[in-house]
């Protein structure tokens, strides 16, 4: 059995199928993990989700695009110009996909391999157990009867700094932003959520540049501009910009081997 962890697919279904072939994936023996942003911005979101729904026991953490889909699908957000999720919104599988995504995690830790998977990042101010506990706060709301209220209040960059006394939607929004949108922050965990490129804003650094309270082997996506480079042996970036015309990447956890396949074309300008 092998475990393959895939970077941001974002609806690039054809590239996903090609990369599965490169990995020599065996659906009867191997397990697939996904770092989130399963859908949106690419061309085949419905096909991607139908494939994932048919898998046996995939491991998934949600990305910001997956959460955005839930908000649009529940008529909370009107969507933006470069969304490409209409194929799911118009499909007979829409409800099943909504319910499936609502049950997924924001953070996954595997006690056997020691790997932790998140979409965007984990601030160094949180040790692993605290991060898992905070993720569960959002996961329980998202899977529960009050998820519409959460999605309604999910958007926004504030509060930018974590404190344990945050409550209500501010607390949930901050937790969600750390796990699904984080790139740059300060040593005290203050987030800067506007910059996407490698030119870091003054006074901030990549979240993984700060020493963590405990050692973590972290797999993450979200940051295509890194192109897989963190210069940290224990921090593995898997978003290599397939939707931008670069590559789709996966790693086999058992030996750390990387697999990649080129994008068929750029789906975003």
139 neighbors 176 (Cβ within 8 angstroms)? no
pLDDT greater than 90 at residue 269: no
Tell me the mean pLDDT in the region 65-81: 97
CA 87 – CA 93 distance, rounded (Å): 10
Q: Give which of 164, 184, 159, 174 is closest to 106, Cα–Cα.
A: 174
Which parts of 9-72 are beta strand (E)?
31-34, 59-60
Q: pLDDT for 82-102, tens place per residue? A: 999 999 999 999 999 999 999
What are the beta bridge partners of residue 88? none
Q: pLDDT for 201-256, tens place per residue? A: 999 999 999 988 777 899 999 999 999 999 999 999 999 999 999 999 999 999 99
Residue 207 φ then ψ, to 5°: -55, -30
- Residue 82: alpha-carbon gap to chain centroid: 19
Query: What pLDDT was estimated at residue 200?
Result: 86
Query: What pLDDT was estimated at residue 76?
Result: 97
CA 209 – CA 235 distance, rounded (Å): 10
Tell me the mean pLDDT in the region 2-6: 98
**Measured CA distances, 246 to 13, 15, 43, 195, 204 (Å):** 14, 11, 15, 20, 27
Q: Determine the Cα angle at 133 with ends 127 and 137, to 5°.
A: 140
How many other CB atoms are there within 10 angstroms of residue 199's CB atom?
Answer: 7
Query: What pLDDT was estimated at residue 4?
Result: 98
Q: pLDDT for 142-195, tens place per residue? A: 999 999 999 999 999 999 999 999 999 999 999 999 999 999 999 999 999 987
What are the beta bridge partners of residue 60? 34
39 neighbors 65 (Cβ within 8 angstroms)? yes
Assigned CATH topology for domain 3-262: Purple Acid Phosphatase; chain A, domain 2 (3.60.21)
| Start-to-end C-alpha separation, the chain | 39
Query: What pLDDT was estimated at residue 15?
Result: 98
């Amino acid at each position: 059995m092998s475990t393959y962890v895939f970077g941001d697919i974002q609806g690039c279904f054809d590239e996903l199928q090609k990369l599965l072939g490169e990995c020599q994936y065996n659906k009867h023996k191997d397990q697939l993990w996904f770092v989130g942003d399963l859908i949106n911005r690419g061309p085949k979101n419905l096909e991607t989700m139908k494939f994932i729904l048919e898998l046996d026991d995939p491991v998934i953490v949600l990305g910001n695009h997956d959460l955005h889909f839930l908000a649009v699908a529940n008529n909370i957000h009107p969507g933006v110009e470069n969304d490409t999720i209409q194929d799911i919104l118009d499909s007979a599988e829409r409800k099943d996909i909504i319910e499936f995504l609502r049950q997924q995690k924001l953070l996954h830790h595997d006690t056997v391999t020691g790997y932790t998977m998140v979409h965007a990042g984990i601030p160094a101010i949180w040790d692993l157990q605290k991060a898992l506990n905070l993720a569960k706060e959002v996961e329980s709301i998202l899977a529960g009867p009050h998820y519409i209220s959460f999605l309604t209040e999910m958007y926004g960059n504030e509060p930018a700094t974590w404190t344990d006394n945050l409550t209500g939607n501010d607390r949930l929004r901050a937790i969600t932003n750390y796990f699904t949108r984080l790139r740059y922050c300060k040593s005290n965990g203050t987030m800067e959520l506007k910059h996407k490129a490698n030119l870091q804003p003054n006074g901030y650094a990549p979240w993984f540049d700060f020493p963590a309270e405990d050692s973590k082997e972290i797999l993450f996506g979200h940051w295509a501009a890194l192109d897989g480079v963190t210069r940290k042996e224990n921090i593995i970036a898997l978003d290599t910009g397939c939707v931008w015309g670069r590559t789709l990447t996966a790693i086999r956890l058992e030996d750390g081997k990387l697999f990649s396949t080129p994008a068929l074309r750029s789906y975003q300008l």
